[in-house]
Amino acid sequence: MARVSPPHTHQVYSPDGKNRSPERIVKPATHVPVDLAGTPVQVYRRPDKPTHAMFPKCQEDWKEIAELFEARWNFPHCLGGIDGKQVDIIPPAGGGSEFFNYKGRNSMVLLGIFNAKYLFILADFGTNGRVSDGGVLQNTKFFEMLTKSELHIPTEEHVKGTNRNLPYVFIADDAFALWNDMMKPFRQADLTSQEKKI
């Protein structure tokens, strides 16, 4: 049985940024922030520092994200980064191996899409840890809308400073499948040491 820390207080803010009364939350000991003496500490979310942005509703919204990626990271036509994170959980009674992941722990997956300022434009949580990041993506409403071309993603356009038209894409790591609207790096395992140097 996993060890659970005693309840500790978290400061909670409402969407309007006003402080609400503290709530008692029980979390697994591995996720409780502690000081050097091992004493649990309070965690505050600053209402003046946003953690998310609005999900784009039209081509202009997507282009605004792409312009920010190009200005900040010199990456044209990027609509956002996609990644997943395993969040350890205490599985429900009778859950068996449903939540057991490749790391040998029970977890659920948080899938996020973020903009050039590291702000979430979409977060999906709840798929069991046995499923890979790519599988989690395929289980989302976002992916369903992406495959049906319902997200109003701009069509390919001319890239400044070149004579080429390129599509708008999301970027992801190797856990995700290559898709028309998704770009990912070459697998390191498939490259020779000489190719890795290049």
For the chain, first and last CA: distance in Å? 48
Q: Where are the domains of the chain?
A: 1-47, 59-186
The confidence score (pLDDT) of residue 114 equals: 93
15 against 121, higher pLDDT: 121
pLDDT at 50 over 80: no
The confidence score (pLDDT) of residue 69 equals: 95
pLDDT at 170 over 80: yes
pLDDT at 12 over 60: no
The confidence score (pLDDT) of residue 176 equals: 84
27 against 73, higher pLDDT: 73
Confidence of residue 3 (pLDDT cuts 50, 70, 90): very low
The confidence score (pLDDT) of residue 37 equals: 47
Residue-averaged pLDDT of the chain: 76
List, for residues 17-29, the tens digit of each pLDDT value: 444 444 433 333 3
Number of neighbours of residue 191 by Cβ within 10 angstroms: 13
- Beta bridge partners of residue 169, listed in sequence order: 78
Q: For residues 176 and 182, is the Cβ–Cβ distance under 8 A?
A: yes
Percent of the chain past pLDDT 90, that is, above it, reads 28
Q: Spell out a b/e string for 155-187, using b for 16 or more CB atoms within 10 Å of the CB, else e.
A: eeeeeeeeeeeeebbbbbeeebeebeebbbeee
Mean pLDDT, residues 92-111 taken together: 87
pLDDT at 81 over 90: yes
177 against 146, higher pLDDT: 146
CA separation for the pair 106, 128 (Å, rounded): 8
Q: Is 37 helix (H, G, I), strand (E, B) or coil?
A: coil
pLDDT at 154 over 90: yes
pLDDT at 66 over 60: yes
The confidence score (pLDDT) of residue 186 equals: 74
Number of neighbours of residue 22 by Cβ within 10 angstroms: 12
Confidence of residue 196 (pLDDT cuts 50, 70, 90): low
Residue closest to 118 by CA, chosen among 48, 49, 52: 52
pLDDT at 147 over 60: yes
Residue closest to 66 by CA, chosen among 154, 176, 181: 154
pLDDT at 194 over 70: no
